[in-house]
Structure 1
């Protein structure tokens, strides 16, 4: 009986030793949530500087679309900003003008200009497969994705005398139909209506009524009486206006029902014939606007002051200062709102969680 008790004790002690030995391996193979979060905060300098043209935007919370020139060809890459992996998805001849991502991040519009007074529009998916392609005679053009239907866009082509024509592009049908609209700079207001500022043809003005027009029956409705700038988002409409001739200016967010969600007031820098709207981006799904705000009033042409980067919650009306001294440069935020591409070529990343800025370009021969 005594021998049996000793055997059980030895067996029990061996089990404890065995479990202790196994535990470190399990810990190493399963990083803690804190380690995972830390790894996500650590971005790598993954983009070769040589041949770099620009970053277009976020395809996911970790992947961006980048454009570079290689051997006289413009190439499009998907880069992961956390692990440095990359994949080339498409090439075009070196006549690249610009690119834009669809609201659902699944399609890429590429504007190239293979000949004078001509544009080629190519729409590909994330695998590089062509969904739509068309040559369009134009001196210049603008385009706007439909946030309510990712299969359609608005495109305006300009002639050399700045006469214009607005088209509705349908990717699935591969069609481009003209739309009768009085103004060239239009955005989608719903799946079947567009927005534009109704500028006077007889006098110069810095503001105009904001009009919604149904493209099916042509019916018009005034949405805002006087606006200097507008932008339609998924869940709200931004209108910028002033109740006084020289400001201050109100950023007002309007719900699809017409109710005012929230608003905030800032001073804008003046320009020769209008007012400067600093770069901003809306983080869809959270209702958070990230925007630059001038720290001092004045004229943009002679402005020597700094800009603050602020976050505005369009639902609660709460404001947060993210940075108080940054150069005014384009900004575009990831879908989860944790990071923003930043810079004239979107070559940097602002981490909004730890208030750091990372340079993504890597000079040849430099350490990661």
Structure 2
């Protein structure tokens, strides 16, 4: 009897030890499993996060910019959704930088011993035109890629310049040179051939509507008017074709043309019309306009890569000198208006290709986050 109890006791003891060991082993395996799963989850998150551009992860912007050398002159626009270009004054010359607003990476891409008058970014952001002024009556036109490698440079006698990249072929530019008395001459620049060709245009402010066609307002010289016919012509011929009557302003980007006019039945409004590059009407909208001494005010505007228009608009019709209503910042898509911000000043605008941010101000010294409506300085005051 005693022997049997001892034997049973040993069986119970062995069973308890076995169960205890099993539980310890099971707990350890579960912990290792959870740890392994946790590591995999973290690793997966890192992989996923790494594939998403910084501008879509909610990453904070690295602003204001810490200037490396010189004094801030102005920002010049967007190379891509993350990177802007800005210029500093260094002694009597200028430096041109790219700056990634999310990573804070600052890169010097161009140095000049002369002041930089303007920086014009190509529509794709792959090329940059830099206009420097060594003397009052001379200009140097230098074209570089986004990394700063020089493609071409040309020194020309001129008091001022107007440039127009061809959005259908960025090897081609059109620019007009002005004398001090505002006489002008126009040139066609081919970057592949590094060839500069003079062309005769009736007006200096022309716009590309295809790879080899230009459109402009034919203001004439005999009877000044607030409205002019819109004509087009090819590079190879001086023959003009009338496209539209009575246009006040036009602007073209790739596959889109915008005109502004004022109609006789709504003389207090500006009518914006969007057309395809073969001049078929796509949509239209109107805003009140402000009158000036001899014409109407065109509020500052810009487009994003989806051809959405961002523009300022006054609240009501008035004279520009007495208007005190502030401006709305609007986005326009397919003729539909959306108010982004209220009570802003009408100042220059440069928007990122994806339309998430706009540089703003006479020196593009501020940045507007279009979703959060936040406005921040890009450099320290």
Normalising by structure 2, we get a TM-score of: 0.88
Give the aligned partner of residue 196 of structure 1: 216
Instruction: Name 1:366's counterpart in structure 2.
Output: none
How far is 1:222 from its partner? Answer: 1.6
- Measure the CA separation in 1 of the matches of 2:18 and 2:215: 87
| Whole-angstrom distance in 1 between the partners of 2:120 and 2:319 | 31
Q: Give the superposition deviation at 1:190.
A: 0.9
Instruction: List per-residue Cα deviations over 1:173-229 (Å, max 9, x = no partner).
Output: 111101121111111111111111000211121110111111112232222211101
**Residue 83 (structure 1) shift:** 2.4
- The match for 1:271 among 274, 289, 292 is 292
1:322 shift after superposition: 0.2
- Indicate the residue corresponding to 2:9 in structure 1: none
Provide, for residues 119-176 of structure 1, a one-character-per-residue CA deviation record: whole Å limited to 9, x for no partner: 1100011121110110111122211111111011111111233221111011121111
The alignment status of 1:233 with 2:247, answered yes or no, reads no
* SS of corresponding position for 1:202: coil
Alpha-carbon distance in structure 2 between the residues aligned to 1:4 and 1:224: 94
User: Aligned partners of 1:202 and 1:305: how far apart in 2?
Assistant: 37
Aligned to 2:364: 346
Task: Report the Cα distance in structure 2 between the residues aligned to 1:26 and 1:66, rounded to whole angstroms.
Answer: 42
Larger Rg: 2
Are 2:210 and 2:277, in contact at CA under 8 Å, matched by a contact in 1?
no
Distance between the aligned counterparts of 1:201 and 1:135, measured in 2?
A: 31
Task: Say if 1:346 and 1:19 are closer, same or farther in 2 by CA, change over 3 A.
Answer: farther
Contact 1:47 1:360 in 2 (8 A): no
In the TM superposition, residue 41 of structure 1 has moved relative to its aligned partner by 4.9
Which shows bigger deviation, 65-74 or 102-111? Answer: 65-74
Query: What are the within-5 Å matches in structure 2 for residues 150-169 of structure 1?
Result: 150-169=170-189
**In 2, distance between residues paired with 1:87 and 1:26?**
36
Query: 1:318 and 1:14 mapped to 2: Cα distance?
Result: 62
Distance in 2 separating the partners of 1:200 and 1:208: 8
CA contact (8 A) 1:44 1:83 kept: no
Deviation, structure 1 residue 356: 1.0
Distance in 2 separating the partners of 1:142 and 1:287: 23
Aligned positions of 1:187-336 closer than 5 A: 187-244=207-264, 246-284=267-305, 286-314=306-334, 317-336=335-354
Match of 2:8 in 1: none
- Structure with more relative contact order (C-alpha pairs < 8 Å, separation 6 or more): 1
RMSD: 2.5
Q: Describe how 1:96-175 pairs up with structure 2 within 5 A.
A: 96-175=116-195
Q: Distance in 2 between matches of 1:330 and 1:306?
A: 15
* Residues 48 and 362 in structure 1, CA contact (< 8 A), matched pair in contact too: no
Q: Please say if residues 43 and 358 of structure 1, whose CA atoms lie closer than 8 Å, have aligned partners that are also in contact.
A: no
Q: Tell me the TM-score normalized by structure 1.
A: 0.91
In structure 1, what is the equivalent of residue 103 of structure 2? 83
Higher mean C-alpha displacement, 248-257 vs 25-34:
25-34
Q: Aligned-pair distance for 1:24?
A: 5.8
Work out the CA distance in 1 between the residues paired with 2:190 and 2:20.
Answer: 81
Q: Matched residues in 1 for 2:211 and 2:18: separation? A: 80
Summarize the Cα distance change of 1:217–1:339 in structure 2 as closer, same or farther, 3 Å threshold. Answer: same
Please give the secondary structure, in 1, of the residue aligned with 2:59. helix
CA gap 1:123/1:261 in 2 versus in 1, 3 angstroms: same
Gaps of 5+ in 1: 364-368
